[in-house]
Chain A
Amino acid sequence: MNESDFNPAVVAMRGAHIVSLRDATFAVVSDVNWTVLPGEFWVVAGQQHSGKSDLLMHAAGLMTPARGSCTVFGCDTKDFGEAQIAERLRIGFVFSGGKLFNHLTLAENIALPLRYQKNLSEAEAGGKVQTFLELFELTPFADAVPSSVAVNWRQRAALARALILQPELLLLDNPLDGLGGRHRQWLLDFLNQLWNGHHAFVGLKMTIIVTADDLRPWRDPQKKFAVLDEKIFSIVGSWNSVAESRDQIVKELLAGTDSVTL
């Protein structure tokens, strides 16, 4: 068996040129070489507009690189279509700010992927949705529309919607953005539980990739770190490498906004 027959990588990018969602001819990050193995927790950090969201959308197969290749679960994302729906549903994606459907309530938002993909009626999906609402402490807001609840709860509902089909790879775009202190801690703890095997997901250990504009909340010796700066994607390694790095951008991302002086 040669190497190409056995490909354990969850996400593999080879010389990938990441393009912008707004303009598919504009490369925001060039020549990305990155391998995400099962069970890894990656934090990709960068300043605003460094291309973090676009990189994450490429890793989810929602966009395809202008050059190079990106494979997810061994399947080239260029081929992602209706026939690859099984592979696509192994990926859960949480957009920055949630991007919930505004014409549906929070409960309907969470139920939608389950109902659509498994052809379930509202009543048939009800039990599982109720379990998820309780798990995410969303029961009081079940019948509220997204615009009437705070971003903290929208973010949780978006996470619940991404998880209801029990994906193996979970990608979150700047999940801590705009969250209050208690909700940030809840989310960090919850993601760590998912990574180590959450009881609600029968102990399945998820592969997780998050983007961030501040590295500090993600401090963990087991996690892996990469940074995006000036169109370049560079892998930093473990938290020790991050702490010891002399790279200016890593220092800025570690300093957060606290270091900004006028």
Chain B
Amino acid sequence: MRGNLGKAFDVANTQVFRRAALPKSYTDVVGRLLFRFLLTVQGLGAFALITLGVIVKKFGVSPSVMQPRIRAEISRAGIALMPMFIFIALALGFVVVGQTVSALAKFGQINYLGSTMVIVIVRELGPLLAAMLVLARVGTAHVIELGTARALGEVEALEALGIDPVHYLIVPRVIGTALGIFALTIYLIIGALVSGYLFAFLQDVPLTPGDYFSEITNALTWLDFVLLALKTMAFGFFIAIVTCYHGLAQPLRLEEVSGVAVRAVTQGVVVCVLVDAIFIVLYLLT
């Protein structure tokens, strides 16, 4: 394989650590695991940088083909998931917000409502839950579609037509997933906060809608908006990178696709938690 993908997978295809005849021992097993982990990190990093490079370099290339593809991916990772997100927002409002509001009211600590809601829903639960749901619904589809396309030789077919597979296959998925998670997180947060108030209202909590929303808006700072946007986009970017990387890495056989999908979802979850941890540090620093 040539071009951008070839560069990304040169690293990942390094089989030397897996083939080397080493004595069987615990340190050997740990060493192999560690090397495999480092190779995956290196491969993912290279793939992420190459994809970013292609997004920038080929921004205006063939818009009449690429724009419908990007729109289709936004629709798939955003609009198509709205019904599920409305259901999850209602559930989140009931489970978390409604209970928290009534508990705070019971102990007379309703003035902590704003900051609690902002930390729990706006900063943490909303973005992470949205990312996990998109990973489950769209990320798995990426791995399976790309894994099948790779196994059937469609990637080589693209290269033979002078089409960069990273541009045609990966860029729309990355942009679609990043924008999809960003938009869905906003809707999830708004839905959860509104439905949370409704559930609190049903429990006879003495709180007017005006007081409830002014508590929350007072607790929000401009930084919350900026970091929320960055965080959700980062979730989307890394979910797409991890799932696309595993879909395309190495010449797959069809029977390997399901195993790769499982690995990609696990790594997707780990990467999202790591990104979240970085943002927690950012919140604490500011």
Residues of chain A having any CB pair with chain B under 8 Å: 21-22, 24, 57, 60-64, 80-82, 85, 88-89, 91, 93, 95, 99-103, 112-113, 115-117, 119-121, 124, 161-162
CB distance from A199 to the nearest CB of B (A): 24
Smallest CB gap from A109: residue in B: B157
Question: Using Cβ atoms and an 8 Å threshold, which residues of chain A touch B160?
Answer: 60, 62, 91, 93, 95, 162
**Residue pair B152, A116 in contact (C-beta under 8 Å):** no
**Residue pair A120, B64 in contact (C-beta under 8 Å):** yes
Determine the distance from Cα of A100 to Cα of B63 in the docked complex, in whole angstroms. Answer: 22
CB distance from A212 to the nearest CB of B (A): 19
Contact status of A115 and B62, CB under 8 A, knowing A89-B162, A95-B153:
yes
**Residue pair A102, B154 in contact (C-beta under 8 Å):** yes
**Residue pair A95, B63 in contact (C-beta under 8 Å):** no
Determine the distance from Cα of A112 to Cα of B62 in the docked complex, in whole angstroms. Answer: 11
Determine the distance from Cα of A24 to Cα of B156 in the docked complex, in whole angstroms. Answer: 15
B259 at the A interface (CB under 8 A)? no
- Chain B contact residues (Cβ within 8 angstroms of A): what range? 20 to 34
Which of the residues B2, B61, B168 comes within 8 Å of A64, measured between beta carbons?
Answer: B2
Smallest CB gap from A161: residue in B: B161
**Residue pair A102, B152 in contact (C-beta under 8 Å):** yes
26 contacts between A and B (CB under 8 A): A21-B1, A21-B156, A24-B13, A62-B156, A63-B2, A82-B164, A85-B162, A95-B156, A99-B153, A99-B157, A100-B157, A101-B149, A101-B157, A102-B148, A102-B152, A102-B154, A112-B161, A115-B65, A116-B62, A116-B168, A117-B161, A117-B162, A119-B61, A119-B65, A161-B161, A162-B160
Question: Using Cβ atoms and an 8 Å threshold, which residues of chain B touch A121?
Answer: 64
Smallest CB gap from B3: residue in A: A81
CB distance from B17 to the nearest CB of A (A): 15
Question: Using Cβ atoms and an 8 Å threshold, which residues of chain B touch A120?
Answer: 64
Contact status of A88 and B153, CB under 8 A, knowing A21-B251, A81-B3, A115-B62:
no
Question: Using Cβ atoms and an 8 Å threshold, which residues of chain A touch B3?
Answer: 81
Smallest CB gap from B253: residue in A: A22
B163 at the A interface (CB under 8 A)? yes
- CB < 8 Å A-B pair total: 71
Question: Using Cβ atoms and an 8 Å threshold, which residues of chain A touch B13?
Answer: 24
B159 at the A interface (CB under 8 A)? yes
The 10 closest A-B pairs by CB, nearest first: A93-B160, A99-B157, A113-B161, A99-B153, A121-B64, A116-B65, A119-B62, A116-B62, A88-B162, A115-B65
Contact status of A116 and B161, CB under 8 A, knowing A99-B154, A102-B149, A121-B64:
yes
Determine the distance from Cα of A22 to Cα of B13 in the docked complex, in whole angstroms. Answer: 11
Question: Using Cβ atoms and an 8 Å threshold, which residues of chain A touch B62?
Answer: 115-117, 119
Question: Using Cβ atoms and an 8 Å threshold, which residues of chain B touch A103?
Answer: 145
Which of the residues B63, B152, B251 comes within 8 Å of A22, measured between beta carbons?
Answer: B251
Q: Which of B2, B62, B157, B164 has the most CB of A within 10 A?
A: B157
Determine the distance from Cα of A62 to Cα of B162 in the docked complex, in whole angstroms. Answer: 10
CB distance from A112 to the nearest CB of B (A): 7
CB distance from B164 to the nearest CB of A (A): 8
Question: Using Cβ atoms and an 8 Å threshold, which residues of chain B touch A101?
Answer: 149, 154, 157-158
Question: Using Cβ atoms and an 8 Å threshold, which residues of chain A touch B148?
Answer: 102
Question: Using Cβ atoms and an 8 Å threshold, which residues of chain A touch B157?
Answer: 95, 99-101
CB distance from B230 to the nearest CB of A (A): 31
- Interface membership of chain B positions 121-155, coded 1 if the CB is closer than 8 angstroms to chain A and 0 otherwise: 00000000000000000000000010011001110
Question: Using Cβ atoms and an 8 Å threshold, which residues of chain A touch B64?
Answer: 115, 119-121, 124
**Residue pair A62, B159 in contact (C-beta under 8 Å):** yes
**Residue pair B162, A99 in contact (C-beta under 8 Å):** no
Question: Using Cβ atoms and an 8 Å threshold, which residues of chain B touch A60?
Answer: 160
**Residue pair B163, A113 in contact (C-beta under 8 Å):** yes
Determine the distance from Cα of A124 to Cα of B63 in the docked complex, in whole angstroms. Answer: 14
Determine the distance from Cα of A57 to Cα of B164 in the docked complex, in whole angstroms. Answer: 17
Determine the distance from Cα of A117 to Cα of B62 in the docked complex, in whole angstroms. Answer: 7
If A117-B163, A120-B64 are given as contacts, then 16 extra A-B residue pairs at C-beta distance below 8 Å, sorted by A number, are A21-B156, A21-B251, A61-B2, A63-B1, A63-B2, A82-B164, A93-B160, A95-B153, A99-B156, A101-B157, A101-B158, A112-B65, A115-B64, A116-B62, A116-B161, A121-B64
Determine the distance from Cα of A89 to Cα of B163 in the docked complex, in whole angstroms. Answer: 10
**Residue pair B162, A113 in contact (C-beta under 8 Å):** yes
Question: Using Cβ atoms and an 8 Å threshold, which residues of chain B touch A115?
Answer: 62, 64-65
Smallest CB gap from B155: residue in A: A99
Determine the distance from Cα of A119 to Cα of B67 in the docked complex, in whole angstroms. Answer: 11
CB distance from B8 to the nearest CB of A (A): 14
CB distance from A11 to the nearest CB of B (A): 15
Question: Using Cβ atoms and an 8 Å threshold, which residues of chain B touch A62?
Answer: 2, 156, 159-160
Determine the distance from Cα of A99 to Cα of B168 in the docked complex, in whole angstroms. Answer: 16
CB distance from A217 to the nearest CB of B (A): 24
- Interface membership of chain B positions 8-32, coded 1 if the CB is closer than 8 angstroms to chain A and 0 otherwise: 0000010000000000000000000
Smallest CB gap from B160: residue in A: A93
Determine the distance from Cα of A99 to Cα of B148 in the docked complex, in whole angstroms. Answer: 12
Determine the distance from Cα of A85 to Cα of B163 in the docked complex, in whole angstroms. Answer: 9
